[in-house]
Amino acid sequence: MKSQKILLIAFLSLITLASCSDDDNNPLPVNEEEVITTLEVTLTNGTTTVTLLSTDLDGDGPNDPVVSVSGNFEKGMTYDGVLKLLNETESPAENITEEVEEEALDHQFFYSTTNSIATFAYSDEDTDGNPIGIEFKMTASADAGNGKVTFTLRHEPNKNASGVKDGDITNAAGETDIEVTFDVVVE
Amino acid sequence: MTKSKVLFILVLFIHVTIKAQECNYTFNGVVEDFHDKTAISDAVVYVKNQNKFTTTDVNGNFSFKNICKGKIIVEISHVACDTKRLEFYLNENTFKEILIEHHIEELETVTIKSNSILKTTQESVLKTSAIENLSDASLGDVLKQISGVSSINTGSSIVKPIINGLHSSRNLIMVNGVRLQDQDWGIEHAPNIDVNAAGSISVIKGANALEYGGDAIGGVVIVNPENIITKDTLSGKTIISQQSNARSFSVNSSLRKSYKSGWFVNGLASYKRYGDANTPDYSLTNTGLNSKSFTLQTGYKSFEKGFELYYSYITNEIGILKASHLGNTADLVNAINSPQPLLIKDFSYDINNPKQDVTHQLTKAIFYKRFRGLGKLNFQYDYQDNHRFEYDIRTGDDKFKPSIDLRLKTHTVKADLKLDSNIERILKIGILAGYQNNFPNSETGVRRLIPDYDKIDFGIYTIGNFTFDNLKLSGGLRYDYNYINSKKYYYKSRWDNLGYNQTFASFIIKEEGNQYLTNPIFHYHNFSASAGASYKLNDKNTILLNYGLAKRPPNPSELFSDGLHHSASRIELGDLSIQPETSHRIGASYMFSNAKFNSTLEVFFNQISNFIFIEPGGIETTLRGSFPVWNYKQTNARLTGVDLTMQYLINSNWALNNNTSYILGDDLLQNRPLIDMPPFKTVNSIAYNNKKWLNFTSTLESEFVGKQTRYPNNNFYAYIPTTDSTVLVDISSTPKAYHLLNISNEISFKYAKTNFSLGFSVNNILNTSYRNYLNRLRYFSDDLGRNFKIQLKIKY
């Protein structure tokens, strides 16, 4: 029957169509543009520098971040801190800190500790006079000990909510972009 | 005898005398049914231009004497048939066999609606009026009127139908004969349909409608446009509605022109605009909707042959509750523990990120021809183009870039032959072939959620329907072949972590930095079958029993998912080794009807082996924090349930209605309940109608939804560094039971040949705060508060 013939032809042409589009037409790889692979915290006191580094090159892949702490902190000392965010899946690595600075009103870092191992104070501010937290001061505890320090970056937080300007994350809301914890020692 | 009649006869006499010498021919014939050639008695045969009448005898025969030579115009009419017109030149004694068409198909459509014809499937139909009242709602909300159909929601605009506990890829949606291909695998992917384009919508529970597909483990939704009437008419319809909640406005308008000759052209356009919805206590920020659609349909319809061209376009921009977009597990814990969303702003019509922007286009061409004494042949081609953008909250240059940009194109050709010359023994055979291409745009700068793939489908089926006195039997067989050829990048770490380096090493075609480019190719062969019987015990009682065997190959999301799902705050992983799932479903129904009471009781038992589902297992840490990992797995599942529909007419003014459904879903391997099973639901209503008061109708409805007490425990513990604590993340507990009261009122009247009807309704009259287990936003916010709605329908 005629229509069966048409059907057959249509079916065959579909197969041909399908196989044509197959030939070596490989999709391009996607290198995540916004993925933050690296958080580097540099803490300086005079000539002493301690670097906290967390790197996760497979983004939301299964590998855990590689975390390193270059040294111990001295009790009671105050360090000038700077945070740096990188996307190292791109070459050269892309500096994401710049994007955070450009959208300072929509970002804020928070610092939390266990065992009261250190205290933090913001050293920078956005155009509204609220903290960003890329630059800060960290004062190590007066007594020696161990503890955890967590750096959190919130996107679109409510900076006017109670306590947020002072670095309390409880009411900040927004979406977490970074949450990295380091084990530190004060001696 | 009146003057005019005298005049008429006089004219006729003159006419006859003038041509007297040529008017001595005979014209005999027989009138038969087109399908089975049975004689049609009592058909009126009218020789129009010679003004002669006769009717056919019991054998369908007719006879005219003294017919004049020349052009003859004959009209044959019968009470249940289309009037047929014939023209020919008569210059000798003539015998003609005239075939006319009984309105079999039209009758069938009408009677299905009144449920009096025997069906062997558990089918429910929503008529035009039931759809019109919800002209501003989604398909999922419209279908919820049917007992046993519920919905799984992401907010109030993304609504997917659940049929007997199953949703997404397990249900099949047919739009005017075209299987909707719109990335139905995701829970946040609502069907792209404008309900206003539907004349009727039916739901067939289970896989007993094999002509549509062999993988409908849940069921089939059939959305059909209004029937074409071959008359000279021009008609139109406009529906305008406005709601207080979300301050929504919706308008749709259609125009239909058809000719007696069979030509027709229809057009429809709809527009919907919703702002932020609100719960009894707060506004749901960024939950607006902006929807536009139009449909064009034209063609020619006659009994013997016809064609139709159909095009529909729909675009939906849908806001997603801002507070549901999460960064990590700590955010999820904060959001769950907060009694209300963490971000509430004043009402706005603005739709910001996160949002979806989906455009769906459907083009269809169908041609049919009937062959005398054999049946009807259909030939159809359709093309669908689905383009989905999803926008997340991003930074820098990417702020306005979509995170997902998927384009799914599907071509299908199909042909079927329906052998219906004997209306009691109908046989249908069909064949179809499809080609589908998915293209995820890499310019999003986000790793692809669904990979590039080409897919080829081929299907062949046969179904039969056999009617005996009070018994109807049906059966069907179907075979489907699916071929999927995809190209996907995996992180090398993920590839090894999933063990693919052992099992699927041959798929790797290239290395690219820390990723592998792979080429997974799969072939699936699926057999499906159905059998059903219904038996009419007497005028009041009917029973039905059916069985369906269905097989569904895994969808791209079950095979290839690989990454972070923001709104669920979890990493979702597909599995390349997933096999098709197989369902054995047995359904039984009992129907009772008399003058006052109508009821349908449906029960089903659905045993699914290799049931594909997703469940948590382990935690992964990234620089964003930690996430639970959810893996697609397979188990054996069993679903059993009961759906009840009852209507009682107290008198000509008052009626009572009840819809009740209950379902049990179990994971047989892990010996625990299945997730996302609809809880017990019963809807009772009392309706008052008075034809004298402008056909006033008022319906008071009570909707009770129980607490789902059967659910799997997927809770997990997470360490929250900012508070230095380990907390239980309760993602499993179900919301408590709730009860809503709704009222709707309508009057209708006719003015200057135009039908008007005006409706006023209130949903959630008591402004009850509640959360719905099957709304994914239940973790973050309450459901909708009180809503006033006015609606004006104009038919002209």
**Is B92 near chain A, with CB under 8 Å?**
no
B635-668, pLDDT tens digit by residue?
999 999 999 999 999 998 999 999 999 999 999 9
Q: Is the torsion defined by CA of A65, A66, A72, A78 positive or negative?
A: negative
The pLDDT value recorded for residue A10 is: 56
Report residue B115's pLDDT band, with 50, 70 and 90 as the boundaries: very low
- Residue in chain A closest to B395 (alpha carbons) equals A99
List, as one string, the DSSP characters of B717-757. Answer: EEEETTTTEEEEE--SPPPPPEEEEEEEEEEEEEETTEEEE
B18 and B83, same domain (yes or no): yes
Distance, in Å, from the CA atom of B182 to the CA atom of B122, rounded to the nearest integer, reads 26
B206 and B229, same domain (yes or no): no
- Only one residue has tokens 């501010």, namely A125
**pLDDT-wise least confident of A9-18, A131-140, B132-141, B406-415:** A9-18
Range of the domain at B41: 13-102
Distance, in Å, from the CA atom of B655 to the CA atom of B688, rounded to the nearest integer, reads 7
Q: Phi and psi dihedrals of B159, rounded to 5?
A: -130, 120
Residue among B433, B445, B491 minimizing CB distance to A33: B445
Asked whether residue B2 is assigned to any structural domain, the reply reads: no
Tell me the nearest-neighbour CA distance from B399 into chain A, angstroms.
10
Q: Which residues of B touch A6 (CB under 8 A)?
A: 379
Q: Is the torsion defined by CA of B561, B564, B570, B571 positive or negative?
A: positive
**pLDDT-wise least confident of A118-132, A145-159, B35-49, B122-136:** B35-49
A66-78, pLDDT tens digit by residue?
999 999 999 999 9
Q: Do B330 and A57 touch (CB under 8 A)?
A: no
Q: Do A181 and B721 touch (CB under 8 A)?
A: yes
Tell me the nearest-neighbour CA distance from B612 into chain A, angstroms.
23
Q: Closest by alpha carbon to B170, among B477, B580, B743?
A: B580
Domain range annotation of chain A: 29-186
Q: Which residues of A touch B365 (CB under 8 A)?
A: none
- Residue in chain A closest to B572 (alpha carbons) equals A60
B389 and B516, same domain (yes or no): yes
* A49 neighbors A60 (Cβ within 8 angstroms): no
B237-281, pLDDT tens digit by residue?
999 999 999 999 999 999 999 998 999 999 999 999 999 999 999
Q: Which residues of B touch A159 (CB under 8 A)?
A: none
Find all residues with CB under 8 Å of B20, minimum gap 6, and list them.
none
Asked whether residue B165 is assigned to any structural domain, the reply reads: yes
Find all residues with CB under 8 Å of B312, minimum gap 6, and list them.
B175, B194, B197, B293, B294, B295, B296, B360, B361, B362
- Of the candidates B77, B102, B127, which is a domain's last residue? B102
For residue B633, the SS3 value is strand
Give the DSSP letter of residue B595.
Answer: S
Asked whether residue B197 is assigned to any structural domain, the reply reads: yes
Select from B397, B622, B630, B720 the residue whose CB has the most chain A CBs within 10 Å, as the one to mutate to test that interface. B622
Distance, in Å, from the CA atom of B526 to the CA atom of B609, rounded to the nearest integer, reads 14
A5-46, pLDDT tens digit by residue?
655 565 555 554 444 444 457 898 887 777 899 999 999 999
* B239 neighbors B196 (Cβ within 8 angstroms): yes
Residue among A14, A29, A148 minimizing CB distance to B433: A14
Q: Is the torsion defined by CA of B176, B181, B182, B184 positive or negative?
A: positive
Residue B632, token pair as written in the block: 């697609």
**pLDDT-wise least confident of B55-64, B407-416, B584-593:** B55-64
B500-549, pLDDT tens digit by residue?
999 999 999 999 888 999 999 999 999 999 999 999 998 899 999 999 99
- Of the candidates B71, B86, B102, which is a domain's last residue? B102
Q: Quick check: A186 pLDDT over 50?
A: yes
Distance, in Å, from the CA atom of B182 to the CA atom of B169, rounded to the nearest integer, reads 10
The pLDDT value recorded for residue B497 is: 92
Q: Do A33 and B398 touch (CB under 8 A)?
A: yes
Q: Phi and psi dihedrals of B575, rounded to 5?
A: -145, 120
Give the DSSP letter of residue B197.
Answer: G
**Is B564 near chain A, with CB under 8 Å?**
yes
Report residue B606's pLDDT band, with 50, 70 and 90 as the boundaries: very high
Distance, in Å, from the CA atom of B546 to the CA atom of B785, rounded to the nearest integer, reads 41
Q: Phi and psi dihedrals of B569, rounded to 5?
A: 50, 50
Average pLDDT, chain B: 90
Find all residues with CB under 8 Å of B665, minimum gap 6, and list them.
B165, B637, B638, B639, B673, B674, B677, B710
Domain of B378, CATH number, reads: 2.40.170.20
Q: Which residues of A touch B458 (CB under 8 A)?
A: 11
The pLDDT value recorded for residue B19 is: 43
Asked whether residue B7 is assigned to any structural domain, the reply reads: no
What is the number of CB-based contacts under 8 A between chain A and chain B?
A: 178
Asked whether residue B606 is assigned to any structural domain, the reply reads: yes
Q: Which residues of A touch B564 (CB under 8 A)?
A: 60
B50 and B146, same domain (yes or no): no
Find all residues with CB under 8 Å of B596, minimum gap 6, and list them.
B648, B649, B650
Q: Do A62 and B624 touch (CB under 8 A)?
A: no
**Is B437 near chain A, with CB under 8 Å?**
yes
**Is B383 near chain A, with CB under 8 Å?**
no
Total domains in the fold of chain B: 3
Q: Which residues of A touch B329 (CB under 8 A)?
A: none
Domain of B53, CATH number, reads: 2.60.40.1120
AA letter at A131:
P
Report residue B116's pLDDT band, with 50, 70 and 90 as the boundaries: very low
Residue B721, token pair as written in the block: 């560094």
B342 and B370, same domain (yes or no): yes
Q: How many CA atoms lie within 13 A of B118 on its CB side?
A: 27
* B707 neighbors B677 (Cβ within 8 angstroms): no
B555 and B594, same domain (yes or no): yes
B472 and B584, same domain (yes or no): yes
AA letter at B322:
K
The pLDDT value recorded for residue A9 is: 61
For residue B8, the SS3 value is helix
B207 and B320, same domain (yes or no): no
Asked whether residue B679 is assigned to any structural domain, the reply reads: yes
Domain of B203, CATH number, reads: 2.170.130.10
* B297 neighbors B308 (Cβ within 8 angstroms): yes
The pLDDT value recorded for residue B506 is: 95
Residue among B334, B396, B492 minimizing CB distance to A102: B396
Asked: is A29-186 a CATH 3.40.50.20 domain? The reply is no
B717 and B772, same domain (yes or no): yes
- Residue in chain B closest to A9 (alpha carbons) equals B413
Provide the percentage of residues in chain B whose pLDDT is more than 70.
94
Average pLDDT over residues B64-83: 81
Asked whether residue B56 is assigned to any structural domain, the reply reads: yes
B1-35, pLDDT tens digit by residue?
455 555 455 444 444 444 444 788 888 888 887 76
The pLDDT value recorded for residue B109 is: 39
- Burial letters B55-78, b for 16+ CB under 10 A, else e: ebeeebebebeebbeeebebebeb
Report residue B598's pLDDT band, with 50, 70 and 90 as the boundaries: very high
Q: Which residues of B touch A59 (CB under 8 A)?
A: 447, 491, 622
B768 and B658, same domain (yes or no): yes
Report residue B185's pLDDT band, with 50, 70 and 90 as the boundaries: confident
Q: Which residue has the higher pLDDT, B117 or B359?
A: B359
* B270 neighbors B292 (Cβ within 8 angstroms): yes
List, as one string, the DSSP characters of B695-711. Answer: TEEEEEEEEEE------
For residue B203, the SS3 value is strand
Distance, in Å, from the CA atom of B152 to the CA atom of B144, rounded to the nearest integer, reads 11
For residue B50, count other CB atoms closer than 10 A to its CB: 21
Q: Do B452 and A27 touch (CB under 8 A)?
A: yes
Distance, in Å, from the CA atom of B200 to the CA atom of A114, rounded to the nearest integer, reads 64
Q: Phi and psi dihedrals of B609, rounded to 5?
A: -95, 150
**Is B330 near chain A, with CB under 8 Å?**
yes
Segment 450-489 of chain B within 8 Å of chain A by CB: 451-452, 454, 456, 458, 485, 487, 489
B201 and B328, same domain (yes or no): no
- Of the candidates B45, B68, B102, which is a domain's last residue? B102
Average pLDDT over residues B556-560: 94
B328 and B430, same domain (yes or no): yes
